[in-house]
């Protein structure tokens, strides 16, 4: 299993041709207490970098971008009910959605953990 990161502070856990997507520890920390998430509809097909959702804290709202092109095959209903999961367990129970990859080569340009750690330290 591989984990990749985007410059928009999302993480992707890749298993076969499926990626689970969430926001990073850095992203949830910058946002503060998450109070609302808007998740995409299952079955929607997105191009890479399209806006697929929204995450809001009391003080700010941020778009969640589709990190890779593909079809949304599952969303985290538990996160919809309890948006604070994005703060308490951003890399686990606070995942946002799963996407079926349409172009696995897009993964090559994303950051690995070492690169992302350096990137977010300067963000």
Partner 1 sequence: MSNPEILLKTPLHDLHVELGARMVPFAGYSMPVQYPAGLMAEHLHTRQAAGLFDVSHMGQLRLVGPDAAAALESLMPVDVMDLPVGKQRYGLLLNDEGGVIDDLMFFNRNMADSANGGDLFLIVNGACKVGDIAHIQQKIGSRCRVIPMPEMALMALQGPQAVTALQRLAPGVEKLVFMTGGRFTVAGCDCFLTRSGYTGEDGFEISVHESQADTLARALLAQPEVKPVGLGARNSLRLEAGLCLYGNDIDTSTTPVEASLNWAIQKVRRTGGARAGGFPGADKILAQLADPAVTLTRKRVGLVALERIPVRDHTELQSTDGAAIGEVTSGLLGPSINQPVAMGYVRPEFAAIGTRVNAMVRGKAVPMEVSAMPFVPNRYFRG
> Among residues 49 and 100, whose Cβ is nearest to partner 1?
49
Work out whether 24 is an interface residue with partner 1 (CB under 8 A). no
Nearest in space to 123 (alpha carbons), one of 4, 11, 7: 7
d(CA 75, CA 30): 23
CA–chain centroid gap for 19, Å, is 10
> Among residues 8 and 38, whose Cβ is nearest to partner 1?
38
What does the per-residue mask of binding to partner 1 show for 28-67, with x meaning CB under 8 A?
Answer: ----xx-xx-x---------------x-xxxx-x------
Q: C-beta of 22: minimal distance to partner 1 in Å?
A: 19
Two structure tokens written together for 57: 């804290």
Q: Is residue 41 classed exposed, middle or buried when 0-12, 13-18 and 19+ CB atoms within 10 A define those classes?
A: exposed
Residues lying near partner 1 in the complex (CB under 8 A) are found at: 32-33, 35-36, 38, 54, 56-59, 61
């Amino acid at each position: 299993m591989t984990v990749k990161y985007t410059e928009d502070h999302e993480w992707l856990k890749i298993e076969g041709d499926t990626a689970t997507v969430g926001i990073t520890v850095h992203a949830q920390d910058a946002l503060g207490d998450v109070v609302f998430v808007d998740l995409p509809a299952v079955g929607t097909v997105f191009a890479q970098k399209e806006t697929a959702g929204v995450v809001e804290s009391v003080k700010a709202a941020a778009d969640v971008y589709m990190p890779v092109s593909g079809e949304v095959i599952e969303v985290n209903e538990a996160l919809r009910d309890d948006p604070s999961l994005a703060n308490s367990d951003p890399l686990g129970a606070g995942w946002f959605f799963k996407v079926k990859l349409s172009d696995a080569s897009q993964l090559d340009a994303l950051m690995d953990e070492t690169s992302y750690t350096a990137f977010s330290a300067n963000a």
